Protein backbone atom coordinates (compact mmCIF):
# COMPACT_ATOMS: atom_id res chain seq x y z
CA UNK A 1 0.00 0.00 0.00
CA UNK A 2 1.49 3.34 -0.99
CA UNK A 3 2.17 5.56 1.94
CA UNK A 4 0.57 8.97 1.44
CA UNK A 5 2.96 11.75 2.27
CA UNK A 6 1.86 15.39 2.47
CA UNK A 7 2.81 17.23 -0.73
CA UNK A 8 5.65 19.22 0.74
CA UNK A 9 7.38 16.15 2.12
CA UNK A 10 6.82 14.06 -0.98
CA UNK A 11 9.13 16.34 -2.92
CA UNK A 12 11.98 15.32 -0.60
CA UNK A 13 11.13 11.82 0.62
CA UNK A 14 12.82 10.69 3.83
CA UNK A 15 16.16 9.01 3.24
CA UNK A 16 15.25 5.98 5.28
CA UNK A 17 16.81 2.78 3.93
CA UNK A 18 14.56 -0.21 3.63
CA UNK A 19 15.53 -3.86 3.78
CA UNK A 20 13.11 -5.63 1.53
CA UNK A 21 11.71 -9.05 2.28
CA UNK A 22 8.94 -11.14 0.82
CA UNK A 23 6.54 -13.54 2.49
CA UNK A 24 4.69 -16.19 0.49
CA UNK A 25 1.68 -17.78 2.15
CA UNK A 26 1.42 -21.27 0.69
CA UNK A 27 -1.95 -21.77 2.40
CA UNK A 28 -3.49 -19.18 0.16
CA UNK A 29 -1.78 -19.83 -3.20
CA UNK A 30 -4.17 -21.54 -5.62
CA UNK A 31 -1.69 -21.78 -8.49
CA UNK A 32 -3.48 -19.35 -10.82
CA UNK A 33 -0.14 -17.91 -12.03
CA UNK A 34 -1.49 -14.34 -12.11
CA UNK A 35 1.77 -13.28 -10.46
CA UNK A 36 3.82 -14.80 -13.29
CA UNK A 37 1.66 -13.11 -15.92
CA UNK A 38 1.83 -9.73 -14.23
CA UNK A 39 5.60 -10.04 -13.96
CA UNK A 40 5.92 -10.90 -17.64
CA UNK A 41 3.69 -7.98 -18.65
CA UNK A 42 5.56 -5.53 -16.46
CA UNK A 43 9.00 -6.56 -17.71
CA UNK A 44 8.11 -7.41 -21.36
CA UNK A 45 9.19 -11.00 -20.88
CA UNK A 46 8.48 -14.02 -23.09
CA UNK A 47 6.26 -16.86 -21.81
CA UNK A 48 9.24 -19.02 -20.89
CA UNK A 49 10.64 -16.41 -18.51
CA UNK A 50 9.02 -17.12 -15.17
CA UNK A 51 10.91 -14.81 -12.85
CA UNK A 52 8.29 -15.83 -10.33
CA UNK A 53 7.52 -19.44 -11.17
CA UNK A 54 4.66 -21.41 -9.65
CA UNK A 55 5.60 -25.05 -9.04
CA UNK A 56 3.02 -27.69 -8.32
CA UNK A 57 4.58 -29.81 -5.62
CA UNK A 58 3.49 -33.38 -4.93
CA UNK A 59 3.57 -34.01 -1.21
CA UNK A 60 4.15 -37.35 0.43
CA UNK A 61 0.48 -37.88 1.26
CA UNK A 62 -0.41 -37.90 -2.42
CA UNK A 63 -1.81 -34.41 -2.47
CA UNK A 64 -0.26 -31.40 -4.04
CA UNK A 65 0.22 -27.74 -3.30
CA UNK A 66 1.51 -24.71 -5.19
CA UNK A 67 4.77 -22.97 -4.49
CA UNK A 68 5.67 -19.68 -6.17
CA UNK A 69 9.42 -19.12 -6.46
CA UNK A 70 10.74 -15.61 -7.06
CA UNK A 71 14.41 -14.69 -6.69
CA UNK A 72 15.24 -15.30 -3.04
CA UNK A 73 17.46 -12.18 -2.82
CA UNK A 74 19.86 -14.13 -0.64
CA UNK A 75 21.91 -12.16 1.86
CA UNK A 76 24.73 -14.60 1.16
CA UNK A 77 24.08 -14.88 -2.55
CA UNK A 78 25.98 -17.62 -4.44
CA UNK A 79 25.27 -15.94 -7.79
CA UNK A 80 26.89 -12.72 -6.66
CA UNK A 81 30.18 -14.34 -5.66
CA UNK A 82 30.75 -16.21 -8.92
CA UNK A 83 30.11 -13.33 -11.33
CA UNK A 84 33.43 -12.57 -13.10
CA UNK A 85 32.57 -8.96 -13.93
CA UNK A 86 30.44 -7.90 -10.93
CA UNK A 87 27.41 -7.51 -13.19
CA UNK A 88 25.36 -9.01 -10.36
CA UNK A 89 25.32 -6.81 -7.30
CA UNK A 90 23.35 -6.19 -4.14
CA UNK A 91 21.72 -2.83 -3.50
CA UNK A 92 21.91 -1.29 -0.05
CA UNK A 93 18.28 -2.27 0.35
CA UNK A 94 19.20 -5.95 0.03
CA UNK A 95 17.94 -6.56 -3.50
CA UNK A 96 20.11 -8.52 -5.94
CA UNK A 97 20.18 -6.78 -9.33
CA UNK A 98 21.87 -7.51 -12.67
CA UNK A 99 23.64 -4.88 -14.75
CA UNK A 100 22.85 -6.23 -18.19
CA UNK A 101 25.03 -3.67 -19.89
CA UNK A 102 28.03 -5.36 -18.27
CA UNK A 103 27.00 -9.04 -18.15
CA UNK A 104 29.06 -11.23 -20.53
CA UNK A 105 26.58 -14.11 -20.55
CA UNK A 106 28.85 -16.82 -19.10
CA UNK A 107 25.88 -18.23 -17.13
CA UNK A 108 28.07 -19.10 -14.14
CA UNK A 109 25.43 -17.49 -11.92
CA UNK A 110 22.79 -19.84 -13.33
CA UNK A 111 24.95 -22.80 -12.37
CA UNK A 112 25.47 -21.31 -8.92
CA UNK A 113 21.86 -20.39 -8.07
CA UNK A 114 20.31 -23.16 -5.94
CA UNK A 115 16.79 -21.99 -6.76
CA UNK A 116 16.93 -21.84 -10.57
CA UNK A 117 15.78 -18.24 -10.36
CA UNK A 118 17.91 -16.90 -13.20
CA UNK A 119 16.99 -16.74 -16.86
CA UNK A 120 19.30 -16.34 -19.81
CA UNK A 121 18.16 -14.27 -22.78
CA UNK A 122 18.89 -16.70 -25.59
CA UNK A 123 16.95 -14.51 -28.03
CA UNK A 124 15.74 -10.93 -28.21
CA UNK A 125 12.79 -10.03 -25.95
CA UNK A 126 9.42 -10.56 -27.67
CA UNK A 127 8.17 -6.98 -27.90
CA UNK A 128 10.03 -4.42 -29.95
CA UNK A 129 11.53 -1.91 -27.52
CA UNK A 130 10.05 1.54 -27.32
CA UNK A 131 12.34 4.21 -28.75
CA UNK A 132 12.69 5.61 -25.24
CA UNK A 133 13.65 2.27 -23.67
CA UNK A 134 16.67 2.73 -21.46
CA UNK A 135 17.26 -0.56 -19.64
CA UNK A 136 18.91 -0.09 -16.26
CA UNK A 137 19.54 -2.59 -13.46
CA UNK A 138 16.58 -1.02 -11.59
CA UNK A 139 14.30 -1.21 -14.62
CA UNK A 140 15.66 -3.89 -16.99
CA UNK A 141 13.06 -3.41 -19.73
CA UNK A 142 13.58 -4.55 -22.40
CA UNK A 143 15.90 -7.42 -21.55
CA UNK A 144 19.20 -7.53 -23.42
CA UNK A 145 19.98 -10.58 -25.56
CA UNK A 146 22.93 -12.68 -24.47
CA UNK A 147 22.70 -11.66 -20.82
CA UNK A 148 21.09 -13.03 -17.68
CA UNK A 149 18.01 -11.55 -16.04
CA UNK A 150 15.89 -12.37 -13.02
CA UNK A 151 13.32 -11.12 -10.52
CA UNK A 152 14.45 -7.75 -9.19
CA UNK A 153 11.63 -7.36 -6.67
CA UNK A 154 10.23 -4.55 -8.84
CA UNK A 155 12.52 -1.96 -7.31
CA UNK A 156 11.19 0.41 -9.98
CA UNK A 157 7.83 0.13 -8.18
CA UNK A 158 8.95 0.01 -4.58
CA UNK A 159 11.07 3.14 -4.99
CA UNK A 160 7.82 5.00 -5.68
CA UNK A 161 6.03 3.31 -2.81
CA UNK A 162 4.15 0.96 -5.12
CA UNK A 163 3.82 -2.81 -4.75
CA UNK A 164 5.77 -5.28 -6.88
CA UNK A 165 3.73 -6.43 -9.88
CA UNK A 166 3.27 -9.96 -8.55
CA UNK A 167 2.07 -8.78 -5.13
CA UNK A 168 -0.58 -6.47 -6.54
CA UNK A 169 -1.67 -9.09 -9.09
CA UNK A 170 -2.25 -11.84 -6.53
CA UNK A 171 -6.00 -12.24 -6.06
CA UNK A 172 -5.50 -14.55 -3.08
CA UNK A 173 -3.37 -12.04 -1.18
CA UNK A 174 -0.80 -14.82 -0.79
CA UNK A 175 2.20 -12.58 -1.51
CA UNK A 176 3.48 -10.06 1.00
CA UNK A 177 6.18 -7.46 0.56
CA UNK A 178 7.83 -6.32 3.73
CA UNK A 179 10.52 -4.11 5.20
CA UNK A 180 12.74 -5.63 7.87
CA UNK A 181 13.79 -2.21 9.19
CA UNK A 182 10.32 -0.82 9.72
CA UNK A 183 9.04 -4.33 10.56
CA UNK A 184 5.99 -4.02 8.38
CA UNK A 185 4.50 -6.12 5.60
CA UNK A 186 1.60 -5.70 3.20
CA UNK A 187 -0.17 -7.86 0.66
CA UNK A 188 -2.07 -4.94 -0.82
CA UNK A 189 -5.09 -5.31 1.41
CA UNK A 190 -3.76 -5.87 4.90
CA UNK A 191 -0.76 -4.31 6.56
CA UNK A 192 0.75 -6.25 9.44
CA UNK A 193 3.81 -6.41 11.60
CA UNK A 194 6.34 -8.47 9.63
CA UNK A 195 7.98 -10.18 12.59
CA UNK A 196 4.63 -11.33 14.00
CA UNK A 197 3.56 -12.59 10.57
CA UNK A 198 6.69 -14.72 10.38
CA UNK A 199 6.63 -15.88 13.99
CA UNK A 200 2.92 -16.60 14.36
CA UNK A 201 2.86 -18.69 11.20
CA UNK A 202 6.14 -20.57 11.66
CA UNK A 203 7.57 -19.10 8.45
CA UNK A 204 10.56 -20.90 6.94
CA UNK A 205 13.10 -20.15 4.28
CA UNK A 206 13.59 -22.53 1.37
CA UNK A 207 16.82 -24.56 1.47
CA UNK A 208 17.81 -22.86 4.72
CA UNK A 209 20.53 -25.51 5.16
CA UNK A 210 22.56 -24.05 2.28
CA UNK A 211 23.31 -20.93 4.30
CA UNK A 212 22.22 -18.54 1.58
CA UNK A 213 19.96 -16.58 3.99
CA UNK A 214 17.11 -15.81 1.61
CA UNK A 215 15.00 -12.69 2.03
CA UNK A 216 11.95 -14.69 0.95
CA UNK A 217 9.94 -16.51 3.62
CA UNK A 218 7.32 -19.20 3.16
CA UNK A 219 4.33 -19.95 5.35
CA UNK A 220 3.45 -23.64 5.22
CA UNK A 221 0.02 -25.02 5.86
CA UNK A 222 -1.00 -27.78 3.52
CA UNK A 223 0.70 -30.50 5.47
CA UNK A 224 4.06 -29.93 3.82
CA UNK A 225 7.18 -30.41 5.83
CA UNK A 226 8.42 -27.37 7.70
CA UNK A 227 11.88 -26.76 6.38
CA UNK A 228 14.44 -25.03 8.45
CA UNK A 229 12.08 -22.93 10.49
User: Which residues, including other chains, have CB under 8 Å from residue 197's CB and lie 6 or more apart?
Assistant: 23, 176, 178, 185, 203, 219
Closest CA to 149 of 91, 103, 192: 103
The binder of another protein chosen from 102, 139, 162, 222 (CB under 8 A)? 102
Binding-residue pattern over the window 33 to 72 for another protein, x denoting contact by CB under 8 A: ---------------x----x-xxxx----------x---
Stretch that binds another protein, among 2-10, 106-114, 128-136, 162-170 (CB under 8 A): 106-114
According to DSSP, residue 15 is labeled -
The yes or no reply on residue 119 touching another protein (CB under 8 A) is: yes
Cross-strand bridge partners of residue 175: 24
Q: From CA 162, how far away is CA 4, in angstroms rounded? A: 11
Q: From CA 212, how far away is CA 116, in angstroms rounded? A: 14
The binder of another protein chosen from 65, 66, 120, 217 (CB under 8 A)? 120
Stretch that binds another protein, among 33-41, 78-86, 165-173, 216-224 (CB under 8 A): 78-86
Coil, strand, or helix at residue 9?
A: helix
Residues that bind another protein (CB under 8 A): 48, 53, 55-58, 69, 78, 81-87, 102-108, 110-116, 119-124, 145-148, 210, 212
Amino acid sequence: MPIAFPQAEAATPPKKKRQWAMVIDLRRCDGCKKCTEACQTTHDLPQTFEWIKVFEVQDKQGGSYFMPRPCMHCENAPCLRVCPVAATFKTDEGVILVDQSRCIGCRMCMAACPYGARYFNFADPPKPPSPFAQPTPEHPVPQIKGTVGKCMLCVHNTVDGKLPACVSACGMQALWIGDLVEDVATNGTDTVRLSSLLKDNDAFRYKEELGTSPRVYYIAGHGQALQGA
